[in-house]
Structure 1
Amino acid sequence: MKFTVTSRGDTHSDQLCEMIKKELQLGELVFDEEAPDIVITVGGDGTLLEAFHVYAHRLEETAFVGIHTGHLGFYADWVPEEVEHLVTHIIKTPYQIVEYPLLEVVIRYRDGRASKRHLALNECTVKSTEGSLVCNVEIKGETFETFRGDGLCMSTPSGSTAYNKALGGAILHPSLASMQLSEMASINNRVYRTLGSPLVLPQHHTCLLKLLNDVSVQVTIDHFNIPNYDENVDTIQCRVAEEKVRFARFRPFPFWKRVKESFISE
């Protein structure tokens, strides 16, 4: 089996990476940064998000497992004290594959530039960099509402615990093939109206955001800024992607237990 290890970049994470690499090679696994069967991330959820985007072109062949060297994560669910146990599992134990839905984002332009397709593990956000964002929200080809406000966030179920939750969105179990649209400071008065509530859309629905005013917008995918998106953005289309992210599970770690430990338990 081929593997690679990525680090957040701090001293502790780097040391763990070197130890994991050495032990797995002693276990006759092959270190391969180009085409790994398993990617081990050391740091936190952000480290795993970065690794996901590096290997997004080979999701059918690559599985991910995360070790957190900070706070407990939703993707990085092993702690440094368990690294030897994890290494033994990777060498000796066939792992279970758990798949989570992803978000497909297609951006189209007014000036004839080719459209761009992205995959998001957590979310896609659209924000105005000056004034309010005004856009039509179309669902399955029909206009649902005209949004006015700071911006919109479209999240995956696994990403529902991230920025989506901070915006008042619901937490969705990752087994649900769906996406969620949440508002950022919408304008609601006698003239302008929006639903004012998060929307959960199923797998077979497409959501299209059609920009109506000539403002510069910033599009982010998993909090990574997408460069060169300006007043020429025409539409942003979101749907549940055909691809899925694959996680290597060596033990059960229920989603609702992670939610409780992250937000409720002291």
Structure 2
Amino acid sequence: MKFVVTSKGDETSNTLAQKMRTYLLDFNLEYDETHPDIVISVGGDGTLLYAFHRYQHRLDKTAFVGVHTGHLGFYADWRPKEIEKLVIAIAKTPFQIVEYPLVEVIIRYLGGGKESRYLALNECTIKSVEGSLVVDVEIKGQLFETFRGDGLCISTPSGSTAYNKALGGAILHPSLQAIQVAEMASINNRVFRTIGSPLVLPAHHTGMFKPVNDVDFQITIDHLTLLHKEVKSIQCRVAQEKIRFARFRTFPFWQRVRDSFVTE
């Protein structure tokens, strides 16, 4: 089996990553940064996000596993003291594959031209570079509302515990094939009105966001911040691709939520 180890870059993570690489080579696994069967991320959830974007071109062939060197994460669930156990599991145990949905973002431009397509593991956010964001929100081709406010966050179920939660969005179990649209400081008065609640769209529903005025957009795809000009529409839906996680033990999602947000 071919593997690669990615690191957050700090001394602790680098040391741990090098140790895992050495152990796995001792088990006669092949280190391959180009075509890995498994990507081991050492650091935190952010480190795994970087790894996901690095290898998103081969999601159907690569599985991910995360080791956290800081706070317990939703993607990085192995502890440093467990690396020997993880190494043996990778080298000797057939692992279970668990797939999580992604959000597909397609940006189209005025005057035609090639559209831009992105995949996000956590979320996509849409903001205006200057002033309030004003967009027509369409669901399944039908106008739902005209949104006015700071911006919109479109998240995956696995990303629902991140920025989406800070915006008052619901926490969705990662097994659900859906995306969630949460508002950022919407404007609601006698003239302007939005739904004021997060929307959960199933896999067969598409959300389309069309600018009402001529502005530049700041769009984030997970940790990436992008500037887009002359935007005609931004389309978001559940992607056909999925991220694949290598599971060597149970992954109690609701226990992870409780440990992260409820218990001291």
Under TM normalisation by the shorter chain, which class is it?
A: over 0.9
- Which residue does 1:239 correspond to in 2? 237
2:147 partner letter: F
CA drift at 1:104: 0.6
Deviations 1:141-178 (A, max 9, x none): 00000000000000000000000000000000001000
Letter in 2 for 1:39: V
Unmatched segments (≥5 aa) in structure 1: none
Deviation digits for residues 206-257 of structure 1, max 9, x if unmatched? 000001112221000013112x413x11110001011110000001021101
Gaps of 5+ in 2: none
Match for 1:259: what amino acid?
Answer: V
1:81-92 pair list within 5 angstroms: 81-92=81-92
SS in 2 for 1:149: strand
The amino acid of 2:130's aligned partner reads E
Aligned equivalent of 1:229 = 228
How many angstroms apart in 2 are the aligned matches of 1:28 and 1:53? 27
SS in 2 for 1:154: strand
- State the secondary structure of the residue aligned to 2:85: helix
Give the 3-state SS of the residue equivalent to 2:228 in structure 1: coil
1:262 aligns with 2:223: no
Correspondence for 2:154: 154
What amino acid is the match of 2:135? Answer: C
Aligned partners of 1:127 and 1:133 also within 8 Å? yes
Question: What does the per-residue CA deviation read over 1:44-89, in whole Å, with 9 as the maximum and x for residues that have no partner?
Answer: 0000000000100100100000000011100000010111110111
- Partner AA of 2:115 in structure 1: S
Superposed CA RMSD in Å reads: 0.7
User: 2-side partners of 1:41 and 1:12: how far apart?
Assistant: 13
Residue matched to 2:71: 71
* Deviating 4+ runs (over 4 angstroms): none
The aligned amino acid for 1:222 is D
In structure 2, what is the equivalent of residue 6 of structure 1?
A: 6
Matched position secondary structure for 1:219? strand
| TM-score in terms of structure 1 length | 0.98
Tell me if the contact between 1:131 and 1:215 (Cα under 8 Å) persists in the aligned partners. no
* 1:36, distance to aligned residue in structure 2 (A): 0.2
For 2:249 and 2:133, the matched residues in 1 are separated by: 44
Letter in 1 for 2:246: A
Matches within 5 A, 1:164-179: 164-179=164-179
Identity %: 68
The whole-number CA distance in structure 2 between the counterparts of 1:37 and 1:242 is: 20
Deviation at residue 119 of structure 1 after TM alignment? 0.6
Q: Distance in 2 between matches of 1:263 and 1:209?
A: 32
Deviations 1:9-65 (A, max 9, x none): 000100011111111000010000000000000000000000000100100100000
TM-score normalised over the length of structure 2: 0.99
Residue-pair matches, total: 264
SS of residue in 1 equivalent to 2:82: helix
Structure 1 distance, partners of 2:72, 2:261, is: 11
How far apart, in 2, do the equivalents of 1:223 and 1:90 lie? 28
